[in-house]
Amino acid sequence: MQDNLAQIPGRIKELREILEISAMDIARDIAIPLETYHKYETGELDIPISVLYKISSQLGVDATVLLTGEDPRMDTASVCRRGKGVRIERYPGYEFSSLAYNFKGRTIEPLLVYLDPSKEAAAPVTHSGQEFNYVVEGRIKIIVGSREHILETGDSIYFDAGLPHGQAAIDGPAEFITIIQER
């Protein structure tokens, strides 16, 4: 999947150019500086998943197209077998697998997230909508706004994703399911 990760910026640029949309228009419409957008499109900066969804929306495609180069095909049900999700490392120590990548017209994004405690935690992020996290294995520190929550296997949290938030494994590797609904 690392090959797919490296191909995402090229897919974005190619599609943007085919659609004859300027980089300036995309940057303006998703409310980021043009310089930052150029760094995403050249691969100089990793694209946060929330920004990837905004870019895909502006390009009129499902995020799966940018992640895999293929359109999602299922419209009634999509099964994702263990270990078969579209897996991408977004930040050091933070890797996710899209569990519904092959379903057309998703209104939520369920992801299985792997946290490696030996890596530095990613900086807090914000995005529109709401988010739900359910700990599958391990212990996780979740910061939402100015509050810190320690969750263990079987615990969950639901929050406003517009608040700065981030997760980090404690006491060993951890996995959690996150379900993101952007507005």
Residue with tokens 């078969």: 84
Do 37 and 101 belong together in one domain? no
Do 23 and 92 belong together in one domain? no
pTM tops 0.85, yes or no: no
Q: What is the CATH number of the domain that holds 159?
A: 2.60.120.10
The residue type at 164: P
Tokens of 82: 């263990």
| Structural domain ending residue among the three candidates 22, 42, 68 | 68
The reply to whether 78 falls in a domain is no
The reply to whether 49 falls in a domain is yes
The reply to whether 79 falls in a domain is no
Tens of pLDDT along 92-114? 677 888 899 889 888 888 999 99
The reply to whether 75 falls in a domain is no
Do 101 and 144 belong together in one domain? yes
Task: With a cut of 80, say whether residue 88 has pLDDT above it.
Answer: no
Do 63 and 125 belong together in one domain? no
Do 100 and 62 belong together in one domain? no
Question: Residue 22 sits in which domain range?
Answer: 2-68
The reply to whether 77 falls in a domain is no
| Phi, psi (degrees; rounded to nearest 5) at 7 | -85, -15
The reply to whether 63 falls in a domain is yes
Helix and strand element counts for the chain (H, E): 5, 7
Do 90 and 53 belong together in one domain? no
Give me the residues paired with residue 133 across strands: 157, 178
Q: What is the CATH number of the domain that holds 41?
A: 1.10.260.40
Tens of pLDDT along 1-52? 444 567 889 999 999 999 999 999 999 999 999 999 999 999 888 887 778 8
Task: With a cut of 80, say whether residue 89 has pLDDT above it.
Answer: no
Helix 2-18 × helix 49-59 angle, to 10°: 30
Give percent above pLDDT 90 in the chain. 55
Residue with tokens 């900066």: 45
Tokens of 14: 């190619």
Query: Across 44-106, where does the E strand assignment appear?
Result: 86-91, 94-98
The reply to whether 52 falls in a domain is yes
Number of domains within the chain: 2
